[in-house]
Chains A and B, each alone.
Chain A
Amino acid sequence: MTLEKPIRFILNDAEVSTKLPVGMVTLDFLRLHQRLTGTKEGCREGDCGACLVLLGELDVDAMRYHPVNSCLLPVGELAGKHLMTIEGLNQKDLNVIQQAIVDEGATQCGYCTPGIVVALTGFLLNAQTLEEKEAIAALDGNLCRCTGYQSIKRAARLVCRKLSEQLLPLENDCDRRLRRLVELKILPSYLLSIPDRLRQLRPAPGDSPSASSRPPVIVAGGTDLFVQRPEEMREANLDLLSARQDLKGIRIDGNRCHIGAATSVEEMKNSPLLQELFPRLGDYFKLISSTPIRNRATVGGNIVNASPIGDLTIFFLALDATITLLDGHQRRELPLRSFFQGYKLLDKAENELLAEISFPLLKKSFVFNFEKVCKRLHLDIASVNSAMQLQLENGRIRRAHLSAGGVAPIPLYLSRTAEFLVGKEINLHTATEAAAIAQTEISPISDVRGSARYKRLLLRQLIISHFSACFPQQMNEEVRR
């Protein structure tokens, strides 16, 4: 659809106004309409990272930039923001990232390379540390078919080493970090003018792009929507939840933790609050998609998508989470586990919007674990995933919650298995019995993620893995085939 009012934003160093469809993906806007061809098309489904761009938002006074997949980013999301492509990062001389890639031979055919440069720039803008491990983690959304990644890792290491003197200690303040990166000529100087220019661009309240009378499609992160229904989305009128600050944020209220539905997965991953609640949060979230996808994907989107294999859904099912649905001012709360009625069928009226998810805080007597196995350990959809939460009392299980994905038409809460666990001691026998009972609750099918018998076996193993991860001492000596 065509807008009545144009979308205005800054593309690299230039202000842009466009009336192109809001549902057109940014990759097409860049390549077809701007002929900025440094951003490459590799898959159009967020798996390869050849199309990475930096999306900058003015957050109070500072710009925050995140690498995102332009193949899944609707043009509508650009309004009032700063979009940076490889062309916008280029300066007269190669910067330290580009030079490191050249020096280490970390580019062969060159097709994935602009995406790698963008990802490493995102790393320098957002890193908590300058450790090589973190730099490599920032490349978890980039595929390269030529190098075997060794030279890319060497280049990342070189960047960390070269900058460790100049950039450390890392500025936590976004604005100061950005200025430092400009000083070091890693970023071009025009970036310093962006906040002021964006302020001038900002539409007056009520001046947001309004569209035709067609009912809008609600878009959270769009990371699945734009994979599954790209043609339809291009024509659609979009209701972009990213603008809804009221749907974002992580807070603790009494004995519950509340997470706004439009909170991104990366925000959750980096949340000190959640990190304190889940000491192994980083390990779990490392298994969930990639940095650029996590920058866009939201917790609400993962749940409403109703995929039987949604990682966060499985995570929250075992936290005995509750969701809040909004219809205008009408609020309705229900347990997450009652939300899924059948394959992609939700207990949700058409006008209801998932606003929030909340779960009771875990106390000291609680243990929690999340497991996921897929063909490729990272950036892959699970063959089976599962989460378990146990409350312990005097060495026995007082309360249990267990979930499993990929084994039924819906993300499954294993209620019979959870019931069985109550009152049991922690030992291998309990774990294998629970795994056996779980077999009676599931109905996996054979598909590209694995045969039915594999998924059955895998869930059994993941339930034992929960116990092994939560109670390593009790289990390790005991666990046998």
Chain B
Amino acid sequence: MKHVDAALHVRGESQFMDDIHEPCGLLHAAVYSSPIAHGRIESLNTDRARKASGVAAIFTAKDIPGANQIGNIILDEPLLADNEVHFVGQPIAIVVAENSDLARAAAKLIKCDFAELDVFLDAREACAKGQLIAPPRTFSLGDVDIAWPKCDVIVEGRADSGGQEHIYLETQGAMALPMENGGLKIVSATQSPSSVQRIIAGVLGLPMHKVEVEVPRLGGGFGGKEDQATAWAAMLALAAFRLQKPVKISLRRKEDICMTGKRHPYSSDFKIGVTHDGRILAYEVVFYQNAGAAADLSTAILERTLFHTTSSYFIPNVKATAYSCRTNLPPNTAFRGFGAPQAMFVMESAIFKAAEKMGMDPSVIQKKNLLQEGDQFPYGMQVRNCRSQRCWEEAEERYDFAKIGKAYTQFNAQNRWQKKGFAVMPVCFGISFTSTHLNQASALVHVYTDGSVNVSTAAVEMGQGVKTKIHEVAARTLSISPSRIKVENTNTSRVANMSPTAASTGADMNGQATKIACENILSRLRAVAGGKLQTEQWDAIEIKDEIVHFRGRKTDIGWNELITLAYFARVNLSAQAHYATPNIYFDRKIEKGSPFAYHVYGTGIVEVTLDCLRGTYQIDAVKIVHDCGTSLNELVDRGQVEGAVVQGLGWVTIEELLHDQSGRLLTDTLTTYKVPDIYFAPAEIQVHFLENADNRPGLLNSKAIGEPPLMYGIGAYFALVKAIKAFRADAPIPFSAPLTPEKVLLALHGESQDLNGQKGEDVFR
């Protein structure tokens, strides 16, 4: 089955939030936000803006009837800044006008005076000053202190990874429509409709049933609309509620980049101990997460970092400590991988450094320490149905690592000005929200009297193909043609208390709920068919390809007739079902438990070519063996792998966020923040899905797909470092992603200090 929306997409007919038919009298909003990173608001003057042409109203914190609070996990984030501002781009006022140009023009007339306060941009600095979002957490296994003396080689170091801007092509936005009886309908581009509903109810002091949130689809989310779509919807709700008129906002790209959070930058210290033959005995790491100015999802992201401390490896002695540090950047947020890529980058840096000291290729250590059945993760969970080694070995054979290695050695010996490098990147990623309560979903399925079927779930379609998979689940379960089915937009009135479409769980959980709802309807239909066939052996009745079968034989009852019979027999043709992922728990008091339904495994190899004259590079190929269980839809899953890989490549290479010393983002447009384009993307991405890889806990034996493949991209960093070192063995390269052409050239030809003393510069890197 193709992507169910594809035919609409290619005709430009699919409607995103900003494309929906506009109600009469629609007003448009713009946001006035803080120009400074930290300060007290001394005076706020909106008089000139209020009198500007076309302006209907201006709202500030004092206009909020309920709670000025949009915090999700920790209540530390106001919708509109009241007394203090904590980052450049923090919303202070909403301007509503006849059109968005007038609203933006008026917002520029707002005047605000601040008493500036100290600005922290660096996580370690913030930590040293005690600026923490929550108390630090430590995961441990075995005892590293006992293990160190047993290690033959111990290396220590530091690894830094930068933030990453989501660049969903559709920017953030929302539209709010006042309804009768003081209610509101919100059209929001969010991954978390229920959060939007709950927060708006709180901001306006309304019961949740008065706030209906509808999500048509998203033009990309990647985590950036999990928590951070809420603010815009809530601001619009406030405006529409106060004005009793429909209001819309669609952020300009620059506004979006400036005002929203990114993937968290991390700075980490590691220490790793290895035996002579490459077995890792101990690993100690301290993570400093740059959370930005408010908690947002930082603590959950930090938790996932800890869960992925040891990546795909079993290490008997581990101690991992993590600090979530409050700085004066926009609150950093979810981004595909959710803290795991940062942990894996540190783990791989540690292995790389140890291997270098031992004079061996990192892949020797990587392979030797891969997870095996029955091993234990540092959080206490047993490794079950482990496919780490299987994926590695299959990739090694299929792509012939030895031959690649040989070809590279030969190429590098023969070419002075071009060097090639490759790195292997194994991935192991836990599936489930680590906050156990979020692992639930529901579905509502209606069969109409004409035999067509309508499915509503909590899943938000953002390009990942979740609608397609749910469509397929419904069609397979009911055994009817997919053309009879429509998967609805996501709406809080049809499905309540939704978990965000996140953590790669959208298809898994909502698909399971859909399956249960369809099965409920089926069992009623079997009874109906039994009535017609005058049998009570309902178990012997099944529907196959829209025809009722009895004891394996076709009857003459088709789907349409069956539905008609059911309707006239007054049988319920709707079902609501709920799914809660079974057998998962985690005890945060002891930091042990079994938080994941299962793990996704895979191995990728990344090959690069470096132009040593110019410091530029090309990612030639990424070759992957990936375990997606029994794929529900290979076209969708392949697309997810390829897209995630290129995002991962971008993160460790060219996607660089730069701020000035005052906390203003300098890379705030697509002109200055560069994401991969068609030429940057590797010439070749080979994806082989592991065969005979059923996954019992998954949806129809499949595995979640969204996030894990992003982390194959990390291999590009180490492939590039190897290529650099093939040119200059003593190249001074700290573990610091992204490895931009600038860093590469300085490593190839610069003096050692070129890579360090960056602090004296005007640009904060």
Which residue of the partner chain, among B12, B253, B676, contacts A43 with CB atoms under 8 Å? B253
A320 at the interface (CB under 8 A from B): no
A146 at the interface (CB under 8 A from B): yes
Q: B416 near A109 (CB under 8 angstroms)?
A: no
- Distance of A90 Cα from B101 Cα, bound (Å): 31
- Distance of A111 Cα from B171 Cα, bound (Å): 10
Could you say which residues of chain B place their CB within 8 Å of the CB of A97? 10
Could you say which residues of chain A place their CB within 8 Å of the CB of B763? 446-448, 451
A175 at the interface (CB under 8 A from B): no
Count A interface residues, CB 8 Å: 85
- Distance of A381 Cα from B674 Cα, bound (Å): 10
Tell me which residues from 209 to 240 in chain A have a Cβ below 8 Å from any Cβ of chain B.
Answer: 227, 231, 234
- Distance of A211 Cα from B606 Cα, bound (Å): 58
A45 at the interface (CB under 8 A from B): yes
Q: A152 near B678 (CB under 8 angstroms)?
A: yes
> Which of A110, A144, A227, A481 has the most C-beta atoms of chain B within 10 angstroms of its own C-beta?
A110
Which residue of the partner chain, among A148, A150, A227, A462, contacts B671 with CB atoms under 8 Å? A227
B411 at the interface (CB under 8 A from A): no
Q: A87 near B613 (CB under 8 angstroms)?
A: no
> Which of A90, A142, A377, A381 has the most C-beta atoms of chain B within 10 angstroms of its own C-beta?
A377
Could you say which residues of chain A place their CB within 8 Å of the CB of B356? none
Could you say which residues of chain A place their CB within 8 Å of the CB of B675? 143, 145
Which residue of the partner chain, among B13, B105, B666, contacts A448 with CB atoms under 8 Å? B666
Could you say which residues of chain B place their CB within 8 Å of the CB of A38? 11-13
- Distance of A78 Cα from B755 Cα, bound (Å): 51
Q: B742 near A44 (CB under 8 angstroms)?
A: no
Could you say which residues of chain A place their CB within 8 Å of the CB of B12? 37-40, 85-87, 90, 113-114, 117
Given contact pairs A105-B638, A150-B685, A457-B749, A376 touches B677 in the complex (Cβ within 8 A): yes
Tell me which residues from 117 to 167 in chain A have a Cβ below 8 Å from any Cβ of chain B.
Answer: 117, 136, 139-140, 142-153
Could you say which residues of chain B place their CB within 8 Å of the CB of A90? 11-13
Tell me which residues from 393 to 451 in chain A have a Cβ below 8 Å from any Cβ of chain B.
Answer: 445-448, 450-451
B647 at the interface (CB under 8 A from A): yes
Given contact pairs A107-B9, A148-B676, A461 touches B14 in the complex (Cβ within 8 A): no
Q: A105 near B639 (CB under 8 angstroms)?
A: yes
Which residue of the partner chain, among B170, B746, B750, contacts A109 with CB atoms under 8 Å? B170
Could you say which residues of chain B place their CB within 8 Å of the CB of A147? 639, 642-643, 646
Could you say which residues of chain B place their CB within 8 Å of the CB of A150? 642, 681, 685
> Which of A41, A97, A376 has the most C-beta atoms of chain B within 10 angstroms of its own C-beta?
A376
B6 at the interface (CB under 8 A from A): yes
Which residue of the partner chain, among A94, A152, A464, A481, contacts B11 with CB atoms under 8 Å? A94
Tell me which residues from 19 to 57 in chain A have a Cβ below 8 Å from any Cβ of chain B.
Answer: 31-32, 35, 37-45, 47-48, 50
A98 at the interface (CB under 8 A from B): yes
B654 at the interface (CB under 8 A from A): yes
Nearest chain B residue, comparing its CB with the CB of A32? B99
CB of B255, distance to nearest CB on chain A (Å):
11
Nearest chain B residue, comparing its CB with the CB of A101? B10
> What 0/1 pattern do residues 640 to 661 of B give for CB contact below 8 A with A?
0011111100000010101000
- Distance of A101 Cα from B101 Cα, bound (Å): 35
A468 at the interface (CB under 8 A from B): yes
> Which of B647, B677, B758 has the most C-beta atoms of chain A within 10 angstroms of its own C-beta?
B677
Q: B678 near A153 (CB under 8 angstroms)?
A: yes
Q: B678 near A102 (CB under 8 angstroms)?
A: no
> What 0/1 pattern do residues 441 to 481 of A give for CB contact below 8 A with B?
00001111011011001101110110010000000100111
Q: B253 near A44 (CB under 8 angstroms)?
A: yes
Given contact pairs A148-B644, A375-B741, A105 touches B6 in the complex (Cβ within 8 A): yes
B567 at the interface (CB under 8 A from A): no
Given contact pairs A40-B170, A111-B170, A98 touches B681 in the complex (Cβ within 8 A): no
- Distance of A114 Cα from B250 Cα, bound (Å): 19
CB of B487, distance to nearest CB on chain A (Å):
15
Q: A148 near B679 (CB under 8 angstroms)?
A: no
Tell me which residues from 78 to 96 in chain A have a Cβ below 8 Å from any Cβ of chain B.
Answer: 85-87, 90, 94
Q: A461 near B677 (CB under 8 angstroms)?
A: no
- Distance of A465 Cα from B615 Cα, bound (Å): 11
Q: B745 near A458 (CB under 8 angstroms)?
A: yes
B590 at the interface (CB under 8 A from A): no
B277 at the interface (CB under 8 A from A): no
Could you say which residues of chain A place their CB within 8 Å of the CB of B746? 453-454, 457
Could you say which residues of chain B place their CB within 8 Å of the CB of A375? 654, 656, 674, 740-742
Tell me which residues from 717 to 765 in chain B have a Cβ below 8 Å from any Cβ of chain A.
Answer: 728, 740-742, 745-746, 749-750, 754, 758, 761-763
CB of B665, distance to nearest CB on chain A (Å):
10
Tell me which residues from 409 to 468 in chain B have a Cβ below 8 Å from any Cβ of chain A.
Answer: 416-417, 462-465
Q: B644 near A102 (CB under 8 angstroms)?
A: no
Could you say which residues of chain A place their CB within 8 Å of the CB of B134? none
Q: A149 near B11 (CB under 8 angstroms)?
A: no
Which residue of the partner chain, among A45, A142, A376, A462, contacts B669 with CB atoms under 8 Å? A45
A180 at the interface (CB under 8 A from B): no
Q: B749 near A454 (CB under 8 angstroms)?
A: no
CB of A458, distance to nearest CB on chain B (Å):
6
CB of B625, distance to nearest CB on chain A (Å):
17
- Distance of A456 Cα from B416 Cα, bound (Å): 22
> What 0/1 pattern do residues 1 to 36 of B give for CB contact below 8 A with A?
011011111111111101101100000000000000
Q: B169 near A108 (CB under 8 angstroms)?
A: no
Q: B14 near A108 (CB under 8 angstroms)?
A: no
CB of B550, distance to nearest CB on chain A (Å):
39
B517 at the interface (CB under 8 A from A): no
Q: A107 near B614 (CB under 8 angstroms)?
A: no
Given contact pairs A111-B16, A375-B654, A481-B749, A45 touches B670 in the complex (Cβ within 8 A): yes
| Segment of B202-210, B214-222, B292-300 in the binding face | B214-222
CB of A308, distance to nearest CB on chain B (Å):
15
Given contact pairs A48-B169, A108-B643, A148-B643, A458 touches B416 in the complex (Cβ within 8 A): no
Q: A454 near B10 (CB under 8 angstroms)?
A: no
> What 0/1 pattern do residues 154 to 193 of B give for CB contact below 8 A with A?
0000000000001111110000000000000000000000
Q: B169 near A468 (CB under 8 angstroms)?
A: no
Q: B742 near A107 (CB under 8 angstroms)?
A: no
B114 at the interface (CB under 8 A from A): no
Nearest chain B residue, comparing its CB with the CB of A141? B677
CB of B723, distance to nearest CB on chain A (Å):
15
A63 at the interface (CB under 8 A from B): no
B672 at the interface (CB under 8 A from A): yes
CB of A200, distance to nearest CB on chain B (Å):
29
Tell me which residues from 356 to 374 in chain A have a Cβ below 8 Å from any Cβ of chain B.
Answer: 371, 373-374
Q: A373 near B616 (CB under 8 angstroms)?
A: yes
Could you say which residues of chain B place their CB within 8 Å of the CB of A227? 671
Could you say which residues of chain A place their CB within 8 Å of the CB of B647? 145, 148
Nearest chain B residue, comparing its CB with the CB of A468? B613
Given contact pairs A110-B14, A111-B16, A476-B416, A378 touches B679 in the complex (Cβ within 8 A): yes
Nearest chain A residue, comparing its CB with the CB of B253? A43
B302 at the interface (CB under 8 A from A): no
Could you say which residues of chain A place their CB within 8 Å of the CB of B228? none
Could you say which residues of chain A place their CB within 8 Å of the CB of B218? 109
Which residue of the partner chain, among B10, B671, B740, contacts A98 with CB atoms under 8 Å? B10
The 16 sampled A-B contact pairs (Cβ below 8 Å) are: A38-B11, A42-B670, A102-B7, A108-B643, A109-B168, A110-B14, A113-B12, A136-B678, A147-B639, A147-B642, A148-B643, A148-B676, A376-B677, A380-B674, A446-B763, A461-B613
Residues of A participating in the B interface, judged by any CB pair closer than 8 Å = 31-32, 35, 37-45, 47-48, 50, 85-87, 90, 94, 97-99, 101-103, 105, 107-114, 117, 136, 139-140, 142-153, 227, 231, 234, 371, 373-381, 383, 445-448, 450-451, 453-454, 457-458, 460-462, 464-465, 468, 476, 479-481
- A105-B639, A109-B462, A454-B742 given. 14 additional CB < 8 A pairs? A44-B252, A98-B7, A107-B5, A109-B169, A147-B642, A147-B643, A148-B643, A148-B645, A148-B681, A375-B742, A448-B658, A457-B750, A476-B416, A476-B417
The 5 closest A-B pairs by CB, nearest first: A38-B12, A109-B463, A110-B9, A111-B219, A148-B646
